[in-house]
Amino acid sequence: MAKAILKSRRSRTIKPRLSPIQPQNKIPIEYWSHSSLMSFLRNPLAWYKRYVQKVYDTPANPASVIGRAAHLALQHFYSGMKKEAAVELGLESVRSVADFEINFGRAQSRTARKEKRAQMERDYLQAISFYLVRPPRHDVVGVEVSAIARVPELALPIKAISDLVVESRAERGALDIVDHKFVDTFSKQKAQKTLFVMQSLFNYYTVREKYGRPVRRFIIQECKKTRNADGSPQMHRYVIDYRKCEEEFDVFHRLINDATREISRPRIYLPNPSDMFEGENSFDIYRLGLVDGDL
């Protein structure tokens, strides 16, 4: 009975609040992902540059370089590689990133950049060691699972990459999705954090479509990169149970359709200077008039 109710909730049509997207309106993207949706909500001009014009020249901050390296190490570890070899692959990925691809902040001299890179390596090695000292065990079905889902209620397909897809321990025959995050501080909202919930729904639909099986939970494994002075655990685990997300599914559908409607209308893309990641870059683009006005 519970499964039937859940299926019914997921399949019902969500009524849009605004007028429907007109057939003659051009949608400038082929699908939404969690990163592209959050980028559009945070900074429409930076979103337009990356996801419509496909210009990828914004330097990454050190934390994102470390996070990508740690994800790479875990990808290989959960694919069967020994810990030491997986850690070494992650370290190589940190070292392979060119200086121009990194936002060094105030560290602009050659000496300062060299020290910053050395610190990035130390931070990566510490973070991944915290995770692998007692790595969570899973019955792994897929690693770095990329998929696109076409959901009848949504105006555009959605895409997601799941760090791990595993056999669920909460429901026999169902799948769980595991997401790894390497952070400076633990999330205060835990599983209720809006970013986590929105991301989990992208992964829910894509994993369900790829495997054709029920998807029960989204599990966030948060690893704090700096050592806790009080000796408390470096890992926190949060669980989002999809059976308890009826309202979140409704909001997700409405947000995707409203965002699709918004990018389909004629508009001018404006920068968000307060965006801590891309504010300056997006304002420079606007100031120099580097974005086409074709929308």
Any domain includes 33? no
Encoded tokens for 229? 């002075």
Residues 191, 173 within the same domain: yes
DSSP string, the chain: -HHHHHHHHHHSPPPPSSPPPPTTSPPS-S-EEHHHHHHHHH-HHHHIIIIIS----PPBPHHHHHHHHHHHHHHHHTTT--HHHHHHHHHHHHHHS-GGGB--TT--SHHHHHHHHHHHHHHHHHHHHHHHTSPPP--EEEEEEEEEE--TTSSS-EEEEEEEEEE-SSSTT-EEEEEEEEESS--TTGGG-HHHHHHHHHHHHHHHHHH-S-EEEEEEEEEESSPPTT---SEEEEEEEGGG-HHHHHHHHHHHHHHHHHHHS-------TT-TTTHHHHHHHHHHT-S----
Residues 166, 124 within the same domain: no
How many independent structural domains does the chain possess?
2
Residues 126, 142 within the same domain: no
Q: Of 79, 215, 223, 210, which is closest to residue 140 (Cα–Cα)? A: 79
Predicted confidence at residue 191, as pLDDT, reads 87
Any domain includes 176? yes
Residues 181, 203 within the same domain: yes
**pTM for this structure?**
0.85
The residue segments making up the domain with residue 106 are 62-132
Q: pLDDT tens digits, the chain, 295 residues: what are they? A: 344 434 444 444 334 344 455 544 689 999 999 999 999 988 899 999 999 999 888 899 999 999 999 999 999 999 999 999 999 999 999 999 999 999 998 888 999 999 999 999 999 999 999 999 999 999 999 999 999 999 999 999 999 999 999 999 999 999 999 999 999 999 998 888 999 999 999 999 999 999 999 999 999 999 999 999 999 999 999 999 999 999 999 999 999 999 999 999 988 888 777 766 666 676 676 677 766 544 3
Cβ atoms of residues 86 and 76 within 8 Å: yes
Predicted confidence at residue 1, as pLDDT, reads 39
Residues 92, 146 within the same domain: no
Predicted confidence at residue 57, as pLDDT, reads 85
Residues 117, 185 within the same domain: no
